[in-house]
Structure 1
Amino acid sequence: MGFSVSDRSGEDAAIEGLRGLAALIVVGSHYAHLVTGAPGAWGFAATGVDLFFVLSGYVFAPYFFGRPLAWGPHLVRRFFRLYPLYLVALALYVLLKLPDPAATKYVVDHVFMAHTLRSLEIAFFYNAAFWSLPPEVEFYLLLPVIAATLRGRAFAALFVFALLMHMALIAVAQPGQGVTSSAIASVHLPGVLVEFALGACAWRIAREGGGRMLRVLLGCVALVAMCAVYTKFVAPDPKAAADAWPWISGNIGLGAALGYALVVSGVAARPNPQGWRLRLCLLAGELSYGVYLFHNALPQMRAKFGWPIEGWTAVGLCLAATLLLAWVLHHALEAPARNFGRDLSRRIAARQPA
């Protein structure tokens, strides 16, 4: 199942293609250790998560600018879009921990998206990529409130508030204090709401037309600049950088999100892709969530079962297996669950008063 080409607009296809690119960028950050001992600039690829945040803000931007949103149908759609495949991924990572007696130790935390509330050990115990799911869920929960409150007004005030909240968390950071309340908040919605808001800005700018190539160029320049800053200050020793340069290390993601927002606003304003490019973009989007969830499982399997593959061969085989697994599960579970959620949300909406 899934969407056919005729079900999607060209703009949707461009965003889906960027979603696939975001997944591959994150894969690059996690597979770098297979080919190099010191990731260096490769570590900047972790900002693919920030591209995901920007894209989510872009997709849901109409609700920032006045479109009404019924919270019940919205949450039903989001649940069936996110959770079924996530629970399968979590089960796989638990199996990979066996026969360790602690394999199921943090399952409850992860099921309820509470795995980033206590320690890095819990957050990264099964799959380091899982850390970004709680702020995404929190954004979905907040979105109906945003839609009902703003009603197309005061978006600038929301953006400034989100930016100040992000900066305040950096200002109160306590270097060397471990996992503090401010550190926890910084990786949840209080710290990253501004990145979702940047996605909404990209949506608004894309509709204003001109200068799309200039925006893409400026976005790429911003990303290169942030990568250079990351390589200079953060990559050599991330922990020391967080202690010595909190304003730099704490704003790498935000700077990257700004660059990505400029790129997204330019790419989304392009003419519709056609032919094989359209199909490739849609396929990339369809597989992106599965790739994001499962790509760390293959290196874990390699280590667990002692597969004799190294270097770029390991990267290629792990990526190919991840793409295959994502494709199978998209058709077997992800798309059917998403379509079921859409049908259920329509039935709920039909029973609600206008």
Structure 2
Amino acid sequence: MTNSHDRLVGQVDPDPREDATIEGARGLAALMVLAAHYAHLFAAQSWLLRLATTGVDLFFVLSGFVFAPYLLGKPLPLLPHLVRRFFRLYPLYLAALIAYVLLHDPPAQAWEHFPVHLLMLHTLSKETAFYYNPAFWSLPPEVEFYLLLPLLATLGRKGRFAAVLGISLVVYMTLALIPGSTDFTSWRQIAGVHLPGLLPEFLLGGVAYAVSQRHLSVRLQCLLLFAGTSCLWLVACVFKAFVVDAEAGSVVPPWIGGNIGLLAALGYALVLAALSKLLAQARGPATPLLLVAGSLSYGIYLFHNLMPVLLRRIWPSLDGAWLALAALAFTLGLATLAHYGLERPLRNYGRQISRSLQPARS
């Protein structure tokens, strides 16, 4: 990440808008999730497309990477932080939620789960979590991370980041070892899709940031890159062997579950640690495209499951790969309109409010 601690002084939170590496990675994560959800539209479904759901884990790692200065001890003003996070996440989510409700079929049941989604409590059951848009499930743990960040920042100032990471891994492994249903029918599974089971992925982003700030030799960067790509290759092998090939007749071992996500997060964190500084220093013709991809990533993530439904209403005969391509094009268009018409103005408004709430500095 190009922002040093000196550049971060005076800001309410890290602002990676000029960091093409982070923004490009956000765009990639959003397109990965889109590809995974559009995989069923193709006659020959690729298991690699289905594995692209780990783009969500990449999002978690990126959140930890961006907020790592606070995880490592930088003071975090509480109220300005919460104001900025609210305007960053909620307005566009609310707009997307209403759009999904209006397009829901049957219309008579469209508002059935709206209050729960409005409060971001929808991941307490699988039916509710996936009722409007499967991608909505990842927003509650993101909010939980934002709420916990002030405490983590306090612990980071006391040099306890390593202890927090260790405790989070112990909690994660405890949840993984407790017997129970692998569906949203047990408290263990519900905890696994909230911060108790996902905090290690955010913290791995913090580790990646800490490593990237060191003066790494080319050999060490190559070693980290090799380790990260090896992790991702192992994730692909495990997914194919125990999830894809096992669907016909055998039960997926319970230890697979969220471990795929954690291992993917580890791989992404290692790759990010190896490449972030190198790529951030490289300015080329692709930089503006990467920045745009990051700007549109949240809109892509929120609206991509809306477009196939809308296009089928307008053009019932459209199907397969053509539907996927059309949905991709319209998703990019809607994400652009949403970013410049709603998301960006409200984020700037939130920044103005948060600056006014910051304590005066000598």
Structure 1 length-normalised TM: 0.92
The question of 1:166 aligning with 2:172 is answered yes
| 2:103 is aligned with 1:89 | no
In structure 2, how many angstroms separate the alpha carbons of the residues matched to 1:9 and 1:89? 24
Task: Determine whether 1:191 maps to 2:197.
Answer: yes
The DSSP-based 3-state class of the residue aligned with 1:286 is: helix
Q: Does 1:250 align with 2:262?
A: no
Q: 2:292 aligns with which of 283, 288, 296?
A: 283
In structure 1, how many angstroms separate the alpha carbons of the residues matched to 2:86 and 2:92?
A: 10
Q: Return the letter of the residue paired with 1:174.
A: G
Confirm or deny: 8 A CA contact 2:182 2:257 kept in the other structure: no
TM-score for the superposition, normalised by structure 2: 0.90
Aligned pairs (5 A) from 1:305-344: 305-344=314-353
Structure 2 match to 1:120: 126
Give yes or no for contact 2:126–2:184 (8 Å, CA) kept in 1. no
Matched letter for residue 30 of structure 1:
H
Give 2:188's match in structure 1, choosing from 182, 186, 198. 182
Q: Does 1:264 align with 2:272?
A: yes
Q: 1:9 to 1:257 in 2, by over 3 A?
A: closer
- In the TM superposition, residue 276 of structure 1 has moved relative to its aligned partner by 2.2
Contact 1:64 1:150 in 2 (8 A): yes
Do 2:155 and 2:161's aligned partners in 1 also have CA atoms closer than 8 Å? no
1:24 is the counterpart of 2:31: yes
Residues 234-261 of structure 1: CA deviation (Å, up to 9, x unaligned)? 12456987x6411123300000000000
Contact 2:33 2:56 in 1 (8 A): yes
CA–CA distance in structure 1, aligned partners of residues 200 and 267 of structure 2: 13
**Equivalent residues of 1:58, 1:203 under 8 A apart:** yes
* Secondary structure, aligned partner of 1:248: coil
Q: Which residue is equivalent to 2:141?
A: 135
218 and 306 in structure 1: CA distance in 2 versus 1, 3 angstrom threshold: same
Match of residue 80 from structure 2: 73
Pick from 198, 223, 237 the counterpart of residue 214 of structure 1: 223
- Please, which of 239, 264, 275 is the counterpart of residue 230 of structure 1? 239
Structure 2 runs not aligned, ≥5 long: 1-14
Distance in 1, matches of 2:47 and 2:318, equals 23
- Equivalent residue number for residue 6 of structure 2: none
Relative to 1, partners in 2 of residues 1:56 and 1:240: Cα closer, same or farther, differing over 3 Å?
A: farther
Which residue is 2:4 aligned to? Answer: none
Q: How many matched pairs? A: 345
How far apart, in 1, do the equivalents of 2:238 and 2:86 lie? 37
Secondary structure in 2 aligned to 1:90?
A: helix
SS in 2 for 1:32: helix
What is the CA distance between 1:177 and its match in structure 2? Answer: 7.2
TM-align CA RMSD: 2.2
C-alpha separation between the residues in 1 aligned to 2:96 and 2:248?
29
1:52 to 49, 59, 74: 59
- Aligned position for 1:5: none
Given that 1:173 and 1:183 are in contact with CA atoms closer than 8 Å, whether structure 2 keeps it comes out as no
SS at match of 1:246: coil
The Cα of 1:275 is off from its aligned counterpart by 3.7
Query: Distance in 2 between the 1:9 and 1:121 partners?
Result: 35
- The answer to which of 190-199 and 94-103 deviates more is 94-103
The Cα shift of 1:12 comes to: 1.9
Distance 1:129 1:251 in 2: 19
1:110 is aligned to 117
Q: How does 1:2-41 map to 2 (within 5 A)?
A: 12-36=19-43, 38-41=45-48
Whole-angstrom CA distance in 1 between matches of 2:328 and 2:249: 32
- Residues 318 and 10 of structure 1, relative CA distance in 2, 3 Å threshold: closer
| Conserved 8 A contact 2:79-2:354 | yes
- The offset of 1:224, in angstroms, is 1.5
Distance 1:334 1:63 in 2: 25
Once residues 15 and 268 of structure 1 are traced to their aligned partners in structure 2, the CA distance between those partners, rounded to angstroms, is 8
Equivalent pairs: percent with the same residue? 47
Deviations, residues 87-144 of structure 1 (Å, cap 9, x unaligned):
0000110011155211000011111110001x21100000000000000000000000
Change (3 A) 1:239 1:70: farther
Equivalent in the alignment of 2:307: 298
Task: Check whether the contact 2:18–2:291 (CA below 8 A) recurs between aligned residues.
Answer: no
- CA offset at residue 221 of structure 1? 1.9
User: 43-52 or 214-223, which moves further after superposition?
Assistant: 214-223
